[in-house]
């Protein structure tokens, strides 16, 4: 049993502000500690459930948010920037299960703490086959390519709700309730860890029965940006078509290619100022 764990941070219990999630920011030490606790709880649960190998792919911002020495000793740690497959780098067909830990809601969600979809300075909305999606469903394209089920997701209620249409059998561990984009009611960090550990254990035990993500192919991504210039720039990539002043679409039968087109758009549009 091999588990691939993609860790974000905004979905951790207790986190409610950008200052807690950006390296160098005033409260980052707290954010890092909360994240490490939840990632390690997920690994503990995975090992109890029968996992022999866990790869942690640090998927937030500059992607070196964890102190390597504080990470569970049975996991390996994939960290650092410019990874070809970004939040899903390291996943391949040798894995049996995907965990998404400390994930968060999409930029357009009604109540979602620190909501964004990859880049809040560029992306206004993403739809997958017509449904507004967050990072979970986008990242699930990579899991689908490798036919690996997403068995665990942790975060707020919105994170769980956004994952379910595409991962109906996912074990969703809710550790906080978002009130606004900058306010949430969280369980105590110790309680969050207990819940995640139990969820991870149960998820690994039934992983063999969980299907790969339910994303109909060929699939269409529709991306709306903050400005028209960003949409124009996205069409420089082959296969991306303008669907409106600020909107583009791309359709494909190959989920990995779609994901790579999306992450290329994210990288490209970073070069355009948002204001
Ligand atoms: Zn994120």
The residue written with tokens 């997403």 in the block is 150
Q: List residues bridging with 131 in a β-sheet.
A: 128
| Ligand 1 centroid distance, CA of 6 (Å) | 10
67 contacts: CB under 8 Å, gap ≥ 6: 32, 36
State the distance from the centre of ligand 1 to the C-alpha of 215, rounded, in angstroms.
20
Q: What is the DSSP string of 26-68?
A: TTHHHHHHHHHHHHHHHHHHHHHHT-SEEEEEE-STTS--S-G
Query: Do 114 and 25 meet the contact criterion of CB atoms below 8 Å apart?
Result: no
Instruction: For 34-52, give one letter per residue: b (16+ CB within 10 A) or e.
Output: bbbbbbbbbbbbbbebebe
* Dist. CA 67 → ligand 1 center (Å): 19
Distance, CA 22 to ligand 1 centroid (Å)?
A: 12
Beta-sheet strands, E only, within the chain:
2-7, 53-58, 75-78, 97-101, 123-128, 131-132, 150-156, 171-180, 183-186, 219-225, 241-242, 247-252
Q: Identify whether the C-beta of residue 51 lies closer than 8 Å to the C-beta of residue 204.
A: yes
Who contacts 234 (Cβ-Cβ below 8 Å, separation ≥6)? 223, 225, 240, 248, 265, 268, 269
Query: Per-residue confidence of the chain (275 residues) as pLDDT tens digits?
Result: 999 999 999 999 999 999 999 999 999 999 999 999 999 999 999 999 999 999 999 999 999 999 999 999 999 999 999 999 999 999 999 999 999 999 999 999 999 999 999 999 999 999 999 999 999 999 999 999 999 999 999 999 999 999 999 999 999 999 999 999 999 999 999 999 999 999 999 999 999 999 999 999 999 999 999 999 999 999 999 999 999 999 999 999 999 999 999 999 999 988 887 77
What residues pack around ion ligand 1 (CB closer than 5 A)? 8, 135
pTM given for the model: 0.97
What number of other Cβ atoms are within 10 A of residue 87's Cβ? 24
95 touches 88 (CB < 8 A): no
């Amino acid at each position: 049993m091999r588990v691939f764990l993609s860790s974000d941070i905004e979905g951790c219990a207790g986190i409610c502000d950008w200052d807690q999630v950006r390296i160098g920011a005033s409260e980052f030490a707290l954010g890092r500690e909360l994240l490490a606790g939840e990632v390690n709880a997920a690994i503990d649960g995975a090992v109890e459930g029968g996992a022999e190998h866990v790869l942690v792919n640090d998927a937030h911002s500059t992607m070196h948010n964890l102190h390597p020495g504080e990470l569970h000793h049975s996991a390996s740690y994939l960290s650092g920037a410019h990874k070809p497959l970004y939040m899903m780098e390291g996943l391949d067909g040798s894995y049996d299960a995907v965990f998404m830990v400390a994930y968060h809601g999409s930029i357009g969600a009604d109540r979602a703490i620190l909501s964004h979809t990859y880049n809040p300075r560029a992306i206004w909305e993403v739809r997958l086959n017509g449904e507004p999606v967050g990072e979970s469903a986008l990242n699930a394209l990579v899991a689908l390519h490798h036919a690996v089920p997403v068995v665990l997701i942790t975060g707020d209620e919105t994170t769980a709700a956004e994952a379910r249409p595409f991962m109906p059998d996912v074990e969703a561990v809710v550790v906080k309730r978002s009130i606004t984009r900058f306010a949430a009611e969280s369980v105590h960090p110790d309680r969050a860890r207990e819940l995640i550990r139990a969820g991870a254990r149960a998820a690994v035990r039934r992983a063999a029965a969980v299907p790969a993500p339910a994303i109909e192919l060929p699939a269409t991504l529709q991306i709306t940006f903050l400005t028209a210039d960003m949409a124009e720039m996205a069409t420089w990539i082959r296969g991306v078509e303008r669907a409106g002043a600020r909107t583009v679409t791309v359709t494909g039968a190959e989920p990995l290619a779609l994901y790579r087109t999306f992450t290329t758009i994210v990288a490209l549009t970073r070069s355009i100022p948002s204001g």
